[in-house]
Amino acid sequence: MNERVAIRVGNAVAEAAPDLWGLFIEDLNDALDGGLNAERVRNGDFEFAATDRDGFHPLTGWAAEGAVQVLTDLPIHPNNRHYASLTGPAAITNEGWDGMRTVSGERLRLSLFARAHGTPVELAAAIGDGLATARRTVEPGGWRRLVIDLDATATGRGELSLAVPAGAALDIDAVSLRPLGDDGEPLTFRPDLLQALEDLAPSFIRFPGGCLAHGYGLANLYRWKDTVGPRHERVHDRNIWNYHQSRQIGYGEYFELCEAVGATAIPIVAAGVCCQNSPGGQRAVPDSDMDAYIQDVLDLVEYANGGIDTPWGAKRAEHGHPEPYGLRHLGVGNEDVINDDFRDRYARIENALREAHPDITVIGTTGPATSGPDYEAGWAYARERAIAVVDEHGYQSPRWLHQNLDRYGAYDPEGSKVYLGEYAGASSRIRSALAEAAYMIGLERTPGVVRLASYAPLLARVGHSQWTPDLIYFTADEVRLTASYHVQQAFGAERGEQVHAVVLEGARPFSRPVPREGAVRFRSARAAIALTEITVDGNPVPDAVITPGGDDLLLAAIDPEAAEIAFTAVRRDGADGFSLGLGPEDPQTSFRLDFAVWQNKNTAVIRRDDGIDNWESGCVWPGLADGVPVAVRVRLDGPRLQVWVDGERHHDLVRDDRPEQRVVAGALSRSGAGGGVEYVVRLVNAEDTEKPVRIDLPGTPGAVEAELSVLAGAGPDDGALFEASPVRPFRTTAKGENGIDLVLPPWSFTAAVLREASATPR
């Protein structure tokens, strides 16, 4: 019989962090163009280029029939140089992203710039095979903007076709097709995705990055001024995630989005340095350009908050929003190396902000992980400068999350506060969503330290992904909400004003068994690797070759608690490096050593539990070169793992065997509608058995009723990338005296709102 779990909600211990739960929108996974952006034309400005991605060109996304060429003389704007020139009979067609989806009865607005040569030109526009059609005459002369409203007469997918007859000559640029809203105006955002974001009830939205903010080299820094004003005048750029940025969702639309969902804005600007993973590494804005760069940052605050009597406040009004946006936070930097250049550039930016806008809370940065040199240096710098809030990132496995629920309880509450700007539980499975819920309860318990948090990445178009897992998947036809989404929604929708102490009795921590047998396995995705001078526990092993993309090379059996492996590796050809697996098969605990697997630039230790990876340790390394031998030695000694490369120790770590807190509870309170008190109690049961639970409230409230939202009914490993959650939350109620009795289903998350039976629901 399952033991009963007792949860006693104690007195309030702290004010809840009011802005804790928010969103982070970055343009990766086609999150903006092809996603949240309601635009249905791909590359409508003909500005795609090979610098965006190999194979891209100005007609990417278009098919041409007849005499069609791309020209750059006399463009509509210097920032939009390329345009299509058609000599009839000719046509260009655009399928958008995986086909343009239209719905019968839908109204669409086609807009474009056209320039006819010599005589009037009749332009024929059509979507698909008769889904919507229209014709317009373009008079000769300069560039003219055409606006054509189309009525979809059928439902389906098709292509936008623009055609001219024989004898006609027409230039075309800035082609746009957007659905019309109820007010008859073109929509900025795709409605179903916008609704999914609004339903999360975010307190804030972070934008534009992430890595996108500081770019792939200094020329690729995200310059906010390039993203406002008329869309056809904006500066296009390469996307660091290996595609193109149209900037149609720029800073103006970002602030508009914040208003639409009731969130405050948290823009992130580069700290005067580019991404550390750029060619040549992290480089700084030249000193001669820093004053102008700092002024750009100050102008962003003025654009958001300045009166219409200020230069950039007037620009905001010119762009259609005379009222200030009320900016309160500004992030400076993202996962940067804290070197001398960074320290200088960051300090100059922050000093200027403190002087000009002391009411703005500046958010600093640490590295991309929850530990390591960048993390330590980032926090040391934050303490040195007394930075108000520091941005931490951490993508961790469910095992790690369950082991570290009290992580922020060890932080100094008098020091810099934490914005957990990027986090996720490493998969789209139920077990990851529940681990995230447990960890979020831990974040909620420490409002004196953790002030803000946002899951990442937020959006991903199926078939166009660069990073997984993601919170929301979508296609042209549907939005797929993950189990992690339902967890985030429960936290955002039901918030509290006071954090309460919670005593939980009867829940036993989970301890993982230590594996006693395993094997040594090699693999490589892209390189042929010759292995020589191989020994396992002092015994010689025949030479072997790792083939790129082949099956694992099984070398020998080992005891994962006591083993020593040595070998020399030589890359014969191919790219990047190889991996060495140590231990048993899934779902038991094992380790993987990556040698130059990511961009041929480091070694890493990856721990694997329940078939889910967790980054444990990294070391910068020049990588492999064809024909150059590399000597590797690995020692397993109980929980300790050591790795040497060419005699230099790269890794020395101890396996974390701490028990996992799999049954977790947290509680907050808030004022009820009728003046009473409501309690928001969150409960995670990440175990295989149901748990009878008694929740007691403080004092003697008498008769209690509760409304519950329960995510349950699936196994821990149900749920997959790019798919909707296998289960959705269901609602139920409960009643009791001075509390309630519940049964928590296995592998479930419950959000309960409790109040006195006589109280009015909020």
- Which CA distances in Å does 565 have to 70, 652, 670? 59, 15, 58
Q: Look up residue 134 and give its two tokens.
A: 């229209």
Question: Is 335 a residue of the active site?
Answer: yes
First and final CA of the chain: distance in angstroms?
A: 37
The span from the CA of 688 to the CA of 70, in Å, is: 62
Could you give the dihedral angle defined by the CA atoms of residues 262, 263, 264 and 269, in that order, rounded to the nearest 10 degrees?
-140
The pairing of strands 156-158 and 160-164 is unpaired
Amino acid, single-letter form, for residue 502? V
CA nearest to 119, candidates 185, 181, 154, 169:
169
For residue 708, the tally of other CB atoms under 10 A from its CB is: 19
85 and 60 Cβ atoms separated by less than 8 Å = no
- Which CA distances in Å does 688 have to 2, 312, 713, 716, 744? 11, 58, 11, 8, 11
Q: Rounded to 5 degrees, what are φ and ψ at 256?
A: -65, -40
Q: Of 26, 335, 436, 660, which residue is the catalytic one?
A: 335
Query: Is cis: bond before 210, omega within 30 of 0?
Result: yes
The full 3-state SS of 141-179, as one line of letters, equals CCCEEEEEEEECCCCEEECEEEEECCCCEEEEEEEEEEE
57 and 48 Cβ atoms separated by less than 8 Å = yes
The span from the CA of 761 to the CA of 680, in Å, is: 12
Q: Look up residue 665 and give its two tokens.
A: 């509870």
- Which CA distances in Å does 389 have to 88, 212, 418, 451, 680? 60, 21, 5, 8, 27
121 and 93 Cβ atoms separated by less than 8 Å = no
Catalytic residues: 335
